[in-house]
Amino acid sequence: MNIAYRDKRWFVFGRVNIMKEHKGMKSQDVAILLFISHYCDGKYKVSQIADSLKISQSEVSESINRSNIAKLIDSGSKTVFRHGLYELLVYGLKFVFPVIPGHIVRGVPTSHSGPPLNGLISSSSDQFVWSYSKGVARGMLIKPLYRTIPVICNEFPEYYELLCLVDALRIGRAREVVIAREILKERLLGNGGK
């Protein structure tokens, strides 16, 4: 087999397979992996994800490429490696995509202020929201993993819950983090995912 590497390209039998450089994960990669793992694991189309999440097809494609290189998805079988995703969420997310709460804004509740934690934890402490002019709550601003998330969360309630749990891992206190970890473990790994 003839393989040559030149100008960041692999040449195999005259066919060019462009290998893009991995410059690190982006926050939308986590949002896309969560969406795939819940709604279309093993059978997604880039156009379907792009339309659903209101992200361009090129961004989705590049995200899947980064996740493939990071061993979080198998782009061939279109399957998310759920254990790897869970480990990233639980052990790395708050360090890679930290949260600093901002000023009080109107928006969509997240972290312990949103579902499912708001039904499990009664808290009169700080409320957190993603900024959204049509939001129904007021709280401290939290930057979502991707800017379109507040707009689409009503369309995908289970996905919204996953994102709230992820934000609890990013910003929550010890009790909230423990509960969020357990719920995420059940939802991501409960069906014997990879």
- Do 141 and 87 share a structural domain? no
- Do 180 and 117 share a structural domain? yes
d(CA 103, CA 7): 47
pTM value is 0.85
- Do 112 and 81 share a structural domain? no
Banded pLDDT at 21 (limits 50, 70, 90): low
* Span 137-174, pLDDT tens digits: 999 999 999 999 999 999 999 999 999 999 999 998 89
- Do 61 and 109 share a structural domain? no
In a domain, 8, yes or no: no
d(CA 9, CA 18): 5
- The confidence score (pLDDT) of residue 71 equals 96
The CATH number given to whatever domain includes residue 56 is 1.10.10
Average of per-residue pLDDT values in the chain: 88
Enclosing domain of residue 156: 104-189
In a domain, 2, yes or no: no
How does DSSP classify residue 190? T
Core vs surface per residue 126-141: b (16+ CB within 10 A) or e: ebbbbbbeebebebbb
The structural domain count of the chain equals 2
Among residues 96, 131, 149, the one where a domain terminates is 96
- Do 181 and 108 share a structural domain? yes
- The confidence score (pLDDT) of residue 134 equals 94
